[in-house]
Amino acid sequence: MSAETLAELSDLLVLSAVLLYLGAMIGFAVELAFGKARADTARSRAGARVTVGVGAAAEPGESGPDPAPEGTTDVLASPGGPAAGDVVPAAEGPEPPAWARTAGLVAVAVAWLGWAANLAAIATRGLAADRWPWGNMYEFVVAICFAAVSAFLITNARQNIRFVGAFVMVSAALGLGLAVLKFYTAAGPVVPALNSYWLAIHVSAAILAGGLFTLAGAAGILYLVRGDGLSRLPSRADLEKVAHKAIVVAFPLWTFAVIAGALWADKAWGRYWGWDPKEVWSFITWIGYAAYLHARVTAGWRGNRATVVQLIGFACLLFNLFGVNILFPGLHSYADVGG
């Protein structure tokens, strides 16, 4: 198969991945829209579990009645109502229809098909160009979308996180669409500075970290959107857990990518660090996520404060990946941006 045919096949596979990701997004959205609504009050997020009693209920950390089973709430005893000592379930909506869960499971299968198309698009692009297929902005964005979907699907195989599936899928579909419409570059050789094994080492680490940071960013945005009371969105505790686990894995990868980039810079340009815009914003992104992890470990930050910090890091990541390449000239500007 000729290089031109492989390049055309890669382009078709990218479009197929977009359609499949959109199909998966619809399935995840249907499951979310018709799933069970659950309460997520400040008390339930703090882990308060008490039984019905007369008078004011004990706050977490105070002395009070023995803890009730998880998922219960506290009310005052009233005529005709529950008696003191009774357990009252937390507010929940009606059970969702069976087909809603089926829609979510079908969406997972469609997402895997999109993942396979995305992977095949990357592989055929590499074969067409006869090099590692992330030598320009178009290829890098296609790979970042693949990494984000991979992070979601692998995590979902270990624990059910279908509740963020719609948001990851729409992010991947929009990312691929942006790559095709704004960043497309024909397959071909790269400049000599990129013709190095460091391309596979440095950029691969950045892609993997970027995919995990994207998963964390989607969970963080949902955390801020979700309010108290009944909602079909997952609990904030679940969303915060997904984001934290993704960042814990991604941060060492990003750290390695920055260090590998410095080693590559010394080999290519004779210096480890030159305050190039890309280098600066890579370091700023590292600081943002380091601040998030540091605040959780030392200051015990959780909830809104920690989520805002990690989303600031995510904003720095997006600006580093897109804004720097488009707005600032520098040594990294050879990562072509098609127009």
Same domain? 117 vs 147: yes
Q: SS3 sequence, the chain?
A: CCHHHHHHHHHHHHHHHHHHHHHHHHHHHHHHHCCCCECCCHHHHHCCCCCCECCCCCCCCCCCCCCCCCCEECCECCCCCCCCCCCEECCECCCCCHHHHHHHHHHHHHHHHHHHHHHHHHHHHHHHHCCCCCCCHHHHHHHHHHHHHHHHHHHHHHCCCHHHHHHHHHHHHHHHHHHHHHCCCCCCCCCHHHCCCHHHHHHHHHHHHHHHHHHHHHHHHHHHHCCCCCECCCCHHHHHHHHHHHHHHHHHHHHHHHHHHHHHHHHHHCCCCCCCHHHHHHHHHHHHHHHHHHHHHHCCCCHHHHHHHHHHHHHHHHHHHHHHHHHCCCCCCCCCCCC
Same domain, 83 and 214: no
pLDDT band at residue 92 under the 50/70/90 scheme: low
User: Is 335 inside a domain boundary?
Assistant: no
Note whether 86 and 104 are same-domain residues. Answer: no
pLDDT band at 270 (very low <50, low <70, confident <90, very high): confident
Q: How far apart are the first and last CA of the chain?
A: 28
Asked whether residue 215 falls in the same domain as residue 272, the answer is yes
Do 169 and 77 fall into the same domain?
no
Residues 204 and 300 in one domain: yes
Note whether 235 and 120 are same-domain residues. yes
Q: What percent of the chain has pLDDT over 70?
A: 79
CB 54 within 8 A of CB 77: yes
Residue 85 shares a structural domain with residue 103: no
Same-domain status, 199 and 86: no
| pLDDT for the residue numbered 129 | 87
pLDDT value, residue 27:
95
Residue 339 located in a structural domain: no
Q: Is the residue at 333 inside a domain? A: no
Within a domain: residue 297? Answer: yes
Among 90, 108, 128, the domain-final residue is: 90
The answer to whether residue 332 is domain-embedded is: no
Burial class (CB in 10 A: 0-12, 13-18, 19+), 164: buried
Residues 273 and 175 in one domain: yes
Answer whether residue 337 is part of any domain. no
pLDDT for 46 beyond 80: no
Q: Are residues 175 and 260 in the same domain?
A: yes
Q: How far apart are CA 29 and CA 166, in angstroms?
A: 6
Q: Is residue 334 part of a domain?
A: no
Domain count for the chain, please give it.
2
- pLDDT greater than 70 at residue 250: yes
Residue 72 belongs to domain spanning: 42-90
d(CA 156, CA 163) in angstroms, rounded, equals 10
pLDDT mean over 81-109? 70
188: in domain: yes
Write out pLDDT tens, residues 214-236.
Answer: 999 999 999 998 877 667 788 88
Q: Does residue 260 share a domain with residue 177?
A: yes
